[in-house]
Chain A
Amino acid sequence: MSNISRGRDWDRRGVLRAMGGVAALGGLAACGSNTGRSGGGGGSIKQMYHAYGEQGTQQAAKKFADAYGKAKVTIEWVPGEYESKLATTLLGSGAPDVFEYHPDLQLVRSRQIVPLDDIIADVKDDFLPEDITANSVDGKIYGIRMIDDPQFFFYRKSLFEKAGVKPPATFDELIDAAHKLTSGKVKGLYIGQNLKTISKPLVWSTGPHYLDADHRIAYHTDNLVETLTKARELYKSKSLLLGAPTEVWDPASFLQGLCAIQWCGIWAIPAIQKAFGDDFGIFPFPKSGAKGRQVVYNGGWSTYVSAKAKDVDAAKEFVKWLWIDQKKYQQEWALDYGFHIPARKSIAAGADKLKSGVAAEAVELFNTHGVFDDPYWTEGMFNILLDAVVNSVRDNKSPEAELDSADKKIERALKKLG
């Protein structure tokens, strides 16, 4: 008996010890991969894109990857909430080596991306200074702009004529136009349901950017409070298209004739042109209040190299090859599927498709009213202010109180990031 029970004890201890070992190994493995730059590159690079809506883009991305001779490049094409998926993936062992994103201080402070000054140095002047600034933190350039995507309102000219409305230049005129254009089955205006996209120009149209030059809160003005109050009235009126199946990045609602005006971007021009011919125009987000300004949001995408890339230098070399050396591919990416403004001045200068019609107007708006992202304004801060906007506009809460509450959280985040 005693022998047997000793044997059983030994067994149990042994198994537990073994299991402990496995668990510890698991933990170590996780830690290892988390800090891990170790290990050779193995000649493979993982590149991550959000799912572009235009047909042919995924195949093009794959074609570029396959054409790279020095390493095997695999493409990960991510549909849905790209920002969240990327943020999570970046922490694990399956993190991409190269990925596209927006400039974000958080990535720099968490040491998730590496500076790319060395590969961009020679051609720095071929990029718009604003695109360089938008990707710079503490004097170092972290991202290479791939495309510029100005966003603005699209409107149906025929519906405007019928209702006797002109493209609005102020926020009040926009609200008025939305009311006048609403008739029967057509709503006047579509600004999206979750307000994620429209919140940027809405805030900027009141005058300031999110932060001032010293990275302090600048958005909180009486004008913004007043604008949010007006936006709430607009939201409550029956003039907004609500409950549409897709958000404003997709021109479907406009194409289906569900609304007379819709916020969208330059990429949608070919599809809208195909559906409506010349019966559409564009205008910037109108200015709000005396100190306001007309706004076109210069969105777009930049490419970054992960600090955890298996071989950082190889990843940088690939980025240089694709987004700096291969001008033909850059041109194809910007112009052959949807419309985007090429980030390189030398390519943009030869972009004939953007030299006539509405596309030319879009480029003009980009140059005159364009507002770029601020890398010191992180995605986290954006979400805090977006909550305040949503609470004020959709949930009827006091804009002043909401902004005060957002200020506190954003100040905390700013302090944390230094």
Chain B
Amino acid sequence: MATTTPTPSAAKGPAPRGAAPVRRRPRGLGGSRGRALNFWLFTGPFLIGLIVFVYVPIGWSLWLSLHNAQGTVTPTEFVGLGNYADMLGDGDFVDSLVNFTIFAAIIVPITYALSLTLALLVHRIRFMKAFFRSVFFLPTACSFVVASLVWKMSLFNGLRYGMMNTVLGWFGIDSIAWLASPHPPWYWLVICSARLWLQCGFYMILFLAALQNIPRELYEAAAVDGAKPGWQTFRHITLPQLRATSVAVVLLLLIAAYQAFDEFYNILDEGRATWGRPPLVDLYLQALGANQDYGHASAGALILALLIALVTLVQGRFLGFGRGDEK
């Protein structure tokens, strides 16, 4: 191959002038070709994984969505956009999108506020900082499924010996069957509290890292200019400095809310409860339940993917995500 040329690569930077080309052949995996090989060696497995587990399924899903694919993943009956029309006309799927909006509207601001508050508290604390940081972060390590079962069977058990009902019992209040009916919608309390417990710690760490990056001089300068510590400093120094992190956190929270599945599925009777079904649970019931309707479910999944992309783009436009630091 021509690549065995003795000329050293210009890309390698200044070669020692006048020095004899002692090591002509790139040793091991050095050299440009070697670098290319290195590149593929390191990214290859990931790329293959990406193609096999992400792009092929997306393509397959697109193909399924255009076919009548009940009980098969290799369908033959082409139905065009019929599945898309059915899904958009299907009350359950549209309802689940509405459910998501309600869920996101509740969970995103609360998680944001709570994790920021936790971060501020942990940031300011003078003793046992590492302890509190760990304590609040620890629930992130817990599985959503395990937490859901604890919430459902122990904390919010509908019987009199459930933990919350025991507490209510001390005040002479009747037991509440938290998850039996959506009237009143106690299930939101169960689901939101589980999710807050699980995810606040993670976002707290993100905020904490950002807080530690705010230069102290800014606060000192503000103090010299007469800014009062507390709300005024927080409003005019801390919050603007957290802008980039805030945008990222809101984006991540929105995507996480879109992807909600585990706690809804496990807390609400394995998806049997007809209320509080997020889009993924609805699609799961379409495709992977006894329905086996991969055509409709794929159409729904692509509608959902488009929606997520759209929301992300719109959010990026308004909040300036990815525009780099703003002065």
Contacts and interface: CB of A to CB of B under 8 A. Distances in A.
Interface stretch (A148-156, A169-177, A382-390): A382-390
B223 to A, nearest CB: 55
A6 B44 contact: no
A91 B177 contact: no
A196 B270 CA distance: 11
A383 B160 contact: no
Contacts of B174: 238
Contact of B3 (A3, A83, A110): A3
Interface string A43-86: 00000000000000000000000000000000000000101100
Contacts of A30: 73
A22 B3 contact: no
A365 B285 CA distance: 34
Contacts of B68: 416
Contacts of B33: 4, 7-8, 11
Interface string A82-94: 0110011001000
A330 interface: no
B181 interface: yes
Contacts of A23: 48, 51-52, 55-56
Nearest to B288: A88
A4 B74 CA distance: 44
B234 interface: no
Interface residues of B, number: 55
Contacts of B275: 395
B300 to A, nearest CB: 15
B73 A34 contact: yes
A15 B44 contact: yes
B74 A109 contact: no
Contacts of A83: 289-290
Contacts, number: 145
B268 to A, nearest CB: 9
Interface residues of A, number: 57
Interface in A3-28: 3-4, 6-8, 11-12, 15, 19, 22-23, 26-27
A12 B36 contact: yes
Interface of A: 1, 3-4, 6-8, 11-12, 15, 19, 22-23, 26-27, 30-31, 34-35, 81, 83-84, 87-88, 91, 104, 106-107, 109-110, 112, 185, 193-196, 235-236, 238, 242-245, 258, 378-380, 382-383, 386-387, 390-391, 394-396, 405, 416
30 contacts: A3-B5, A7-B1, A7-B2, A7-B3, A11-B36, A15-B40, A15-B44, A22-B52, A26-B56, A34-B72, A34-B74, A81-B270, A83-B290, A106-B71, A109-B71, A112-B71, A235-B180, A235-B181, A236-B181, A242-B158, A242-B177, A243-B157, A243-B175, A243-B178, A243-B180, A382-B290, A390-B273, A391-B274, A395-B182, A396-B183
